[in-house]
Structures are given as C-alpha cells and as structure tokens.
Chains A and B, each alone.
Chain A
Amino acid sequence: MTVKELANAFDYEILCLPDEAREIRGGYAGDLLSWVMGKLDADSAWVTIMSNVNIIAVATLTDPSCIILSEGVSPDEGVLARAEQQGINLLSAKKTTFEVCADLASML
C-alpha cells in the first residue's frame, strides 16, 4: 500500500506528500523521540502526537514512509516547510493513535 492509498482509504488529511508513491511496509507508534530513533524501521508509517519540528529530523534519519499525526494534532509552524524540503510525507488523522494503528494493521 502506498502512502496515498492509505490516506485515501481512511480519509486522513494530506498535509504534504513530496514522495506519494512511497510504500508502507510496517508501522510504529511513539512520542518519545529517542524510543522512536531506536525502534522505527525504514519504510514504516510513524504514528505520533508530537508536532514540533524535531519530528522531521527524526524522520529524515530513520526514513519512515510517512508520519501520521494522530488525535487531530496539527503541526507546529515551520514543520510543513521542513517536511516538504526533506521529502517527508506528512498526514494527519482525527482518530486516536490506537485507531490509526488498527487502520494500518488492517492494510498490511
């Protein structure tokens, strides 16, 4: 499943999609950045409620297929521009982190 297919299937809002054909091969949910650094696999979807610009650095280094901001969180100022610049796909969902993970699991 590509990031775009996921967004369409569950009506997630697309905040930016510089790499829309990117395949999703797994998932990880977490908000503590050094846990995420240690555990998030490349090509996975990362579900988080952290909305500050440091998530883009973490994603640039770990290479997930997208970040999904859950629980209706919106990104802080500057995050979108940085995501676009680094080629990081960013979605947002009104659903809880658990529900987003359930969506992901149903598709993988």
Chain B
Amino acid sequence: MDKVNFHFEIDGENFTSAGEASVRIKKMLREMGFTPEIIRRVSVAMYEGEINMVIHANGGEADVNVFCDRIEIILADRGPGIPNIDLAMQEGYSTAPDNIRSLGFGAGMGLPNMKRYTDDMKIESEVGKGTTIVMTVNV
C-alpha cells in the first residue's frame, strides 16, 4: 500500500528546539487535510515521544508513515533503555532530573498520554541498547 514517509533526526542536546519535528508533522498533516482531532492525537503523542528521546535518551530518530487508513509514528533511540516498562507507563512515574523538572517536564504523564492518544502503542527496550516505540493512529 502507498505511504508517505517523513524522517527526522532528533537532537539530544538542544532543549530549545525540542518538539520541532512534531510541530513540522502537525503542519504537514494539516496541509494533507486530516481532521483537527487526528492531528492533535498524532502531534501530542509524537511530541511526548520526541521530548522523551531528548530528555532520557540523548536524541534519536523519528519516522512518521502516513498510510490511507492509519498514521504510524516510530521513535528509535540508542539511549539507556527502560528497565521496567510497566512501571514507566504508570502515571506519575518519572526519573527526570531536577534541572529538567524546572522546565515543566517530569510529571510522568508523557508515556500515558502517548498510550491514550493512539490506537496502538508498542515499546521495545533493552537496557544499555536503546528504545523503539511504535504508535499507530487509525484515520
């Protein structure tokens, strides 16, 4: 089936530009004519994943694949991995350091938001190797 792919390198050093890939995806989905509801779900889920790669994994790569029946977001990093995924998925769980918290991150709501805003979410993570998250929003 035909798909359109958007690829982004996510810079792990730069907090100021964090979220830029999600902002660009939002604009492209709007140009492609998706409903505000779909655009919001995709861009919130992607933003949370993008920020997590910046905060917790020193950056990574994001791919968004737009199919005619669904939008797939793939976030892959070579960060420290998530030792306990069930724990990380709990609302309020966060290992964000204080300097990050002072910017407004670290509520432990990012992964729960990603789950809530997508129709499917799979996390594969290996400690010391990295994390790959695949999210799907049906359209």
- Identify the A interface with B (CB < 8 A): 31-35, 37-38, 42, 50, 52-55, 57-58, 60-63, 78, 86
B residues 1-47 with Cβ under 8 Å of A?
15-16, 18-20, 22-23, 26, 36, 40, 43-44, 47
- Contact at A62–B40, with CB atoms within 8 Å? yes
Q: Which residues of chain A have C-beta atoms less than 8 A from B22's C-beta?
A: 57, 61
- Contact at A52–B103, with CB atoms within 8 Å? yes
- Contact at A55–B104, with CB atoms within 8 Å? yes
B residues 54-100 with Cβ under 8 Å of A?
none
Instruction: Sort A-B residue pairs by CB-CB distance and give the 4 closest, nearest first.
Output: A57-B19, A34-B109, A32-B107, A33-B104
Total A-B pairs, Cβ < 8 A: 69
Specify the chain B residue showing the minimal Cβ separation from A50.
Answer: B104
- Decide if the interface of chain A is mainly helix, strand, loop or mixed: helix
Question: Within the assembled complex, what's the spacing in Å between the Cα atoms of A33 and B103?
Answer: 9
- Contact at B116–A57, with CB atoms within 8 Å? no
Which of B20, B44, B104 is in CB contact (< 8 Å) with A32?
Answer: B104
Q: Which residues of chain B have C-beta atoms less than 8 A from A42's C-beta?
A: 36, 40
**Number of B interface residues, CB 8 Å?**
25
- Contact at A50–B105, with CB atoms within 8 Å? no
- Identify the B interface with A (CB < 8 A): 15-16, 18-20, 22-23, 26, 36, 40, 43-44, 47-48, 103-110, 112-113, 116
Shortest distance in angstroms between A68's beta carbon and chain B's nearest beta carbon?
15
- Contact at B107–A35, with CB atoms within 8 Å? yes
- Contact at A62–B44, with CB atoms within 8 Å? yes
- Contact at A35–B44, with CB atoms within 8 Å? no
- Contact at A61–B104, with CB atoms within 8 Å? no
Question: Within the assembled complex, what's the spacing in Å between the Cα atoms of A42 and B26?
Answer: 14
Q: Which residues of chain A have C-beta atoms less than 8 A from B109's C-beta?
A: 32, 34-35, 37-38
Q: Which residues of chain B have C-beta atoms less than 8 A from A32's C-beta?
A: 104-107, 109
Which of B36, B103, B106, B116 is in CB contact (< 8 Å) with A54?
Answer: B103
Q: Which residues of chain A have C-beta atoms less than 8 A from B40's C-beta?
A: 42, 61-63
- Contact at B113–A37, with CB atoms within 8 Å? yes
Question: Within the assembled complex, what's the spacing in Å between the Cα atoms of A37 and B113?
Answer: 8
